[in-house]
Structure 1
Amino acid sequence: MSTLPGRRRGPSKGDRRERAILETARALLARKPLADITIDELAAGAEISRSSFYFYFDSKIAVVVALLHDMSGDLGRDSGPWLDGSGPDAESLRAALTALAVLWRDQSRLLAGALAAAPGCPPIAQWRAGLRAAHVQRLAARIERDRAAGLAPAGPGARVLAGLIDDLRAAAFAGAEDPEALVGDLVTVELRMIYGNFGDHHPAG
């Protein structure tokens, strides 16, 4: 079978260098804050010159934005069973929050730095807004389903409530020394925000 015209057989040298810059940034962020990382360090880690760095990224922020987009799938990877389910399912919520807490533990400097920079950095703000909107849409749909089924009480608008929950999570994890230690409390708080005294609700089986 012939190869289609223009089809790459594998990653190009440019692809590999771009990936090397991103991996260097990820490794550096594990050791020190974003503000302390320099272009020279990123270039040296990728074994390219400073001038070559600018062929792939126009700034350090552009590297951060690329890392954040790479991570977007991981941030919501384990939330499906909770967001697509029904009723005060503490175990599904706990699993979703635990996965999120582990990611925050491993990528705390990148995520916390991104949230702090977002108000003054349109590309990061756009990333955060898109991530928030996707979560709010799915969580609001869940809240509306449960209210329609009589599993959750009436309350604030579903999108308003979902937005408050998303903002609460981000603020809690951004300020936590041990994100995993917050999971139990977040499960309780989020379920109470949606279901009130959720222990009194018994979904029909």
Structure 2
Amino acid sequence: MMWDVPADRALRMLRRDQARQSLLDTTHGLLERRPWPEITIDDITTGAGMSRTAFYQHFGDRQHLLLTLFGALAEDLAHVGDTWMHGGEDPAAEHRASLAALTNLYLEHGRLLQAVFDAAVSEPDVAAAYEQLAAGIVAATADGIRRDVANGHTQVDDAEEMSRALSAMMERYLLRSFGRRPFADPAAVTATLATVWTRTLYR
């Protein structure tokens, strides 16, 4: 019997993890069809084949679940521009590669990011998480611009403000392109972003 206890505990943990993942996957699927304000806990639990009581065993509320989904994506967003941010001999080409990767990320997860953007209007915790990620991206981009200035690739007087302006434009454009259906053409979106960034920074 002593050997059965760890095995039983491992099985309970596995089932708990599977139930939690089912709630996350169901929410992700619902976001592909409906905007976040229209999705209720009952919608999520019904789709996952679970009870409301089971939902609250994993998440405090809808916002907690949304933040969990966002947290899993935030790391990818923070590093999607690494090809350019790590620097190289051809910053314009590296920037285009990073923008293509970012476009693909929004194509796959834009509905989730739109949900976070929508929820941030009224939910302080969601707004704080969103702003923390956005601030980190702006700071990293500003560092990349300053590096390109130092290397003679561009001439920008205020890297921080340039980063804020370009990042805000890009965020809204990508959300409008992939936050809700119908989606824009990913190739056209990447080309447009590359034109804006490269002509602004590298002329």
User: Under a length normalisation based on structure 2, what TM-score does the superposition of the two structures give?
Assistant: 0.82
Quote the RMSD (CA, aligned, Å): 2.2
How far, CA to CA, are the matches of 1:171 and 1:13 in structure 2? Answer: 39
**Which residue of structure 2 aligns with residue 167 of structure 1?**
168
Say which of 6, 9, 18 aligns to 2:20: 18
Say which of 181, 184, 199 aligns to 1:178: 184
Secondary structure, counterpart of 2:156 in structure 1: coil
Secondary structure, counterpart of 1:67 in structure 2: helix
Say which of 131, 134, 137 aligns to 2:136: 134
Secondary structure, counterpart of 1:31 in structure 2: coil
- Deviation per CA, 1:86-106: give whole Å up to 9, x if none: 466333222211222122222
**Which residue of structure 2 aligns with residue 201 of structure 1?**
none
Q: Could you say if the C-alpha distance between residues 88 and 193 of structure 1 is closer, same or farther in structure 2, counting changes exceeding 3 Å?
A: farther
Contact 2:36–2:118 (CA under 8 A) maintained in structure 1: no
- Deviation per CA, 1:10-53: give whole Å up to 9, x if none: 85432221111101101111222222222112112333211221
**Which residue of structure 2 aligns with residue 97 of structure 1?**
99
Mapping of residues 25-104 of structure 1, within 5 Å: 25-86=27-88, 89-104=91-106
Say which of 123, 136, 146 aligns to 2:148: 146
Aligned residues with identical type, % of pairs = 29
> Any unmatched runs of 5+ in structure 1?
1-5, 198-205
**Matched AA of 2:163:** A
How far, CA to CA, are the matches of 2:137 and 2:189 in structure 1? Answer: 20
**Matched AA of 1:16:** Q
How far, CA to CA, are the matches of 2:88 and 2:152 in structure 1? Answer: 11
How far, CA to CA, are the matches of 1:65 and 1:39 in structure 2? Answer: 15
Secondary structure, counterpart of 2:57 in structure 1: helix
**Matched AA of 1:159:** E
Contact 1:21–1:46 (CA under 8 A) maintained in structure 2: yes
User: Under a length normalisation based on structure 1, what TM-score does the superposition of the two structures give?
Assistant: 0.82
Higher alpha-carbon deviation: 160-169 or 38-47: 38-47
**Which residue of structure 2 aligns with residue 194 of structure 1?**
201
Secondary structure, counterpart of 1:27 in structure 2: helix
Instruction: Quote the offset at 1:67 in angstroms.
Output: 0.6
- Deviation per CA, 1:120-177: give whole Å up to 9, x if none: 221221221121122122211111122122221132x212211212111111011123
